Amino acid sequence: MAPHADFDDSNRDIVRLPAPGRPSFSASPPRLVIIGAGNRGIAYGTAIGESTNGICVGVVEPIAQKRRQFGRKYIWGKAEPAPGQEFADWRDFLSWEEERRKRVATGEKGVPDGVDGIFVCVQDRMHKEVVLGLAPLGIHLMCEKPLATSLEDCVAIYKSLLPDSSVPPSKIFSIGHVLRYTPHNMLLRKLLLEDKVIGDVMSVNHTEPVGWWHFTHSYVRRGNWRKESTSAPSLLAKSCHDMDVLLWLLCSPPPGSSKPAHLPTSISSSGSLQYFNKSRKPIEAGNATNCLSCDYEPSCQFSAKRQYVGTQMGSRQDHFVSVVLPEIEDVVAAGGPEAGRKALLSRLGEDYDDSMPASEVSKKNWFGRCVYEADNDVCDNQTVTMTWENDPIAAEGENRLQALTGRGSKTATLHMVAFTKKICERFTNIYGTSGEIYADSASITVENFHIGEKKVHYPSIAADGGHGDGDSGLARQFVLAIDRVKNHGQSVPTAQQEFIGCSLEEVIRSHAMVFAAEEARKEKLVVDFPSWWEREVAGMLKV
C-alpha cells in the first residue's frame, strides 16, 4: 500500500492477546490478610483466590456479618473460624501477631504460621492510622488508594515505610492504583514507550466517565465519599487512578531505563459541584427529603426506589444493593425474594427531619435520600490540565545531550464527569508525531501516519474482572513480589521494581499532583509544579 493511502478497514490488523495464567505455587505460598471486608476487600479476596499464588488466611472487619460472609467465602468455608483467622479491629490483629511471635520465640509448638502480606482496604481516612500502626510488624503491605486524604498524611506514611531514605525499603509496598495492572494499560504503555508506535506523544485527552447513577450512589447519597471534609475531593477519591495513569504513561521512564522521571511543568484545574444541590430540586418535589415519601419520585431520574429495587443498574444491581443492605443474602435465604425486597425498601425509607442535628445526619448513609437535599460538596465535573516542557538529558553512558525522545513538551487533559452513560469505562485519545491512538476500555486502536495502517489491539479482560482485570493484576503482582522475596531469595528492591513497577516516591508524586491540582482549582491559578514540589513535598520527605 502507498505510504499515504487513506485509512480504511481493509488495511486493519486485529491483535487479540491471551489472558494471563495463574502463577505456579511455591512450597510455602504467601499468606495474606485482608483488613476491611467491604467492596475493595472482597475484590482482592476474589483476586487472591483466582489469580495469585497466595492464600487468604485472615480477615479484619468490625461488622460481624460482613466478616463472617467474607470468611465463609474466602477462608474457612463451612467450618468455624480458627484462632487468628478473624478479627474485629486491626489492633486485635496487631496484638495477636505480636503475641504469636512471642510464642514462636519461646519455642512453643503448634503456633500458627505468620502472615506475609496485608491488603489494607479500610476507609480512606483510616489509611494513615492502619499503615502506621502495622508498620512495626515489618509485613509487606498493599494499601488501597488513595494513600491518604491529605498530603501530610501521605508523607507520614512514606516516612513510616522508609524512615531512612539512604537505606532501601525492607518490605514490598504497593498502592491500589489498579489501572497500572490492567492488560489494557500495560499494553498501551508498551506501545507508547517501548514500541513508540505513534512517535513522541504530543497531547493526551483522557476522560473518566463516572456514570450518572454511580455518582449519586457513591458521591451524593453515600457518606464515605460525599463530603470533602470527611473523606476527600472526588479528584482524589475517584480519579487519583487517572492522574496516576497519566503520569505513568507520560512521566515515568520505560522499564529498564535509568532515566529520571520527566516531571510536569505546570498544572491547572477547574471544576465544581454543578448539579447535585438544592437549587436544582424540581418544584414538584416540595420539601421531601426521601424518595419514598416524595410525590415526584415516579418521574424523577434519580429515584432511589427505581435505582436499587428496579433494574436501572443492570448487571451491577446485586453489588450496589449489598452496599445498601449488607444482610440481603441472609434475608433472601430466610424469607425469599419478597422478604429481601421489603427489607430493602425499609432501608431506603429511612429518613430524618428538622429535629435531627445536621451533625447527626452527616454521620449516616441515607441511600433513599433526595439527591437535591444531600449534604454532599464534592465536584461532579472537573478538568485538570498538565503541561511538560522540553527536558533533554545526557544519553545513558555518554556526556552529550541526546534528542528529546520521550522528553519533549506535551500536554495532558483529564476530564472527570458524573453525567455519563458509561460507568468508569475510561477512554483516551493520544496524539503523537507519527500517529494517534484511541483507547477505550476494550480495545486500543493505533493509526500510523507514515504507512496508512490501522491496527486494533484487544487485550484480554476477564469476564468479571474488576477495573478491567486490574484488581486481579495488582493482586497477582503484589503476591508474586512477596513470593519471590519469601521463597526465591530475591531482594526487596528488585522484586519491587520487577513486579510492582512503582516506587514509594512515585506513589507520593502521583498523589501530590492531585493535591496540587486541587490547590490550582480552589485558588484559580496555574501551579508551577517543580517549584510546588520543592516547597510542599521535597523538604518533608528529607526530614
Architecture of the 31-178 domain: 3-Layer(aba) Sandwich (3.40)
How many angstroms separate the Cα of 172 from the Cα of each of 22, 135, 491?
20, 12, 10
Enter the C-alpha cell of residue 432: 503523537
**Least trusted range by pLDDT, from 160-164, 290-294, 366-370:** 160-164
The distance between the two most distant Cα atoms of the chain, rounded to a whole number of Å, is: 78
Cα three-residue angle 167-132-37, rounded to 5 degrees? 125
Structure pTM?
0.91
Task: Say yes or no to pLDDT of 247 above 90.
Answer: yes
What is the rounded CA–CA span in Å between residue 254 and residue 252?
7
pLDDT at 1 (0 to 100): 34
What percent of the chain is modeled with pLDDT above 70? Answer: 92
Task: Say yes or no to pLDDT of 215 above 70.
Answer: yes
* Strand residues in 223-265 grouped as ranges (E): none
pLDDT in tens, 329-342: 889 999 999 999 99
Single-letter residue type at 203: S
Task: Say yes or no to pLDDT of 47 above 70.
Answer: yes
Give which of 169, 249, 73, 259 is closest to 481, Cα–Cα: 169
pLDDT in tens, 249-280: 998 877 777 788 899 999 999 999 999 999 99
pLDDT in tens, 116-168: 999 999 999 999 999 999 999 999 999 999 999 999 999 999 999 988 878 88
**Least trusted range by pLDDT, from 229-233, 370-374, 390-394, 520-524:** 390-394
For residue 9, name the pLDDT band (cuts at 50, 70, 90): very low
For residue 361, name the pLDDT band (cuts at 50, 70, 90): confident
What is the rounded CA–CA span in Å between residue 206 and residue 357?
41
Q: Where in the chain is the domain with CATH 3.40.50.720?
A: 31-178
What value does the mean pLDDT take over residues 186-193? 93
pLDDT at 391 (0 to 100): 87
Architecture of the 200-275+378-432+503-542 domain: 2-Layer Sandwich (3.30)
**Least trusted range by pLDDT, from 12-16, 131-135, 437-441, 506-510:** 12-16
pLDDT at 524 (0 to 100): 96
Are 428 and 443 spatial neighbours (Cβ–Cβ below 8 Å)? no
What value does the mean pLDDT take over residues 270-296? 96
44 or 162, which is more confident: 44
Q: Can the peptide bond before residue 112 be classed as cis, meaning omega within 30 degrees of 0?
A: no
* Strand residues in 419-459 grouped as ranges (E): 427-432, 435-439, 444-448, 453-458
What value does the mean pLDDT take over residues 400-410? 72
Q: What is the mean pLDDT of the chain?
A: 90
What is the rounded CA–CA span in Å between residue 33 and residue 45?
9
How many angstroms separate the Cα of 428 from the Cα of each of 2, 248, 263, 417, 440?
29, 14, 21, 14, 6
For residue 358, name the pLDDT band (cuts at 50, 70, 90): confident
Provide the pairing of β-strand 31-35 with 55-60: parallel
Report the SS3 class of residue 247: helix
CB neighbourhood size of 167 (10 A): 8
What value does the mean pLDDT take over residues 516-543? 92
